Amino acid sequence: MTAVSASRLEGLDLARVLAVAGMLSAHVGPVGLETLGGQLYALPQGRASVLFMLLAGVGVSFLAASRRPRRGGAEAQLLWRAALLFLIGLGLQALEPDAIYVILPAYAALFVLAIAMLRMPSPGLLAIAALMLALGPAIFLHGQLTSPDVFDRSPVMPGLAAGEMLHRLVLSGPYPLVTWIVPFAVGMWLGRLDLRSTAVRRRLVVVGAVGTAGVLLASAGLQRALGVDADDWGWNRLLVTQPHSQMLLWLAGSVLTAGAVLGLCLLLADRARRWLWPLIASGQLALTFYVTHLLVLWLLRETLESSGLDDHVMDSPAIATVVTLLAMAAFAAFAVLWSSRFQRGPLESLLFLPWIARRQSRDRPR
């Protein structure tokens, strides 16, 4: 397998903005509605965040392949990004301790783990993904069955003891590393493929789409044959595809879907760049978009509650879709203006801050 050049692939940016938009829609829209509109609206739920994590893995492999000389190499950059994202994630989670689960602490923890994975051979990355796909859901379900008060998906919060924080990050939180390392490791493996190859992109779409359909059919067939209910709390729960359940078939199907979306975005970005540029520009500011949408939801929480709009949005896929599209359009306008003047987004620049400061210090006349 050939490592792809670290120069920017705008299809990745397109996939990133779709991932953030999917998480935004889950935060403002209805959950668990049985209507056709509710089910269609809920399609990104539990899949958008997996796509976001898979793209993080792709980005790590791109970072490792970068030929731009930076003191300390990829390891130093990963440590800086991990520290920064962990602090931002803790701050955001403190604002919304119960309403929204922030994915950034899990991102940060996986960036630290990635340091040990950078020099693994590609088959090793796939082996980790396969092993944890088999073990991770079982570990999480065992915890839920034996210690439901502990394995309750409580988020990582400021002020927790180090041991409890680590337990939530690795085992019992909303994004436990025992399962979420799967899309991350697959993403690192994908980042080593030649993602500029049309054949590779098409293969991602076909394998991802067919695999997703196969997982959904297998889940439905097994549940019917064994009499499994989505609300069951036995070992047969491993067969459900309920979003964020951490279960085997949900995890496998979501990773396959993410691969298909990535391949499709890589194809579309090259063929329709002019029309898709506002979305691509938004994807280049994906971290800023993610943090901004959480801050806006927090700032507007009292207004939404007092107006009754919050309940209405949560119950109406149509209104939630309008809210999501308006938010995306507003951010896209900002992203296009920002990218016309600056190379990186406001928060994206922080990811490179030590290296930017060092370069400016080196270039300053003496």
Per-residue confidence in pLDDT tens, the chain, 366 aa? 333 334 579 999 999 999 999 998 888 876 666 676 677 777 888 899 999 999 999 999 999 887 554 555 888 899 999 999 999 999 999 987 777 899 999 999 999 999 999 999 999 999 999 999 999 999 999 999 999 999 989 999 998 999 999 999 999 999 999 999 999 999 999 999 999 999 999 999 999 999 999 999 998 888 888 877 766 678 888 888 888 889 999 999 999 999 999 999 999 999 999 999 999 999 999 999 999 999 988 888 766 554 445 544 556 777 788 888 999 999 999 999 999 999 899 999 998 887 665 665 555 555
If one counts the domains in the chain, the total is 1
In a domain, 3, yes or no: no
Which residues are CB-neighbours of 272 under 8 A, at least 6 positions away? none
Residue 322, CA distances (Å) to 26, 28, 72, 112, 280 in order = 13, 10, 46, 38, 20
In a domain, 238, yes or no: yes
In a domain, 366, yes or no: no
Question: Domain of 244?
Answer: 10-360
In a domain, 5, yes or no: no
In a domain, 191, yes or no: yes
In a domain, 131, yes or no: yes
Q: Report the Cα–Cα distance between both ends of the chain, in Å, rounded.
A: 46
- pTM over the 0.85 mark: yes
In a domain, 294, yes or no: yes
Residue 66, Ramachandran bin (φ over 0: left; ψ between -120 and 50: alpha; else beta)? beta
Residue 337 tokens, joined: 């203006």
In a domain, 204, yes or no: yes
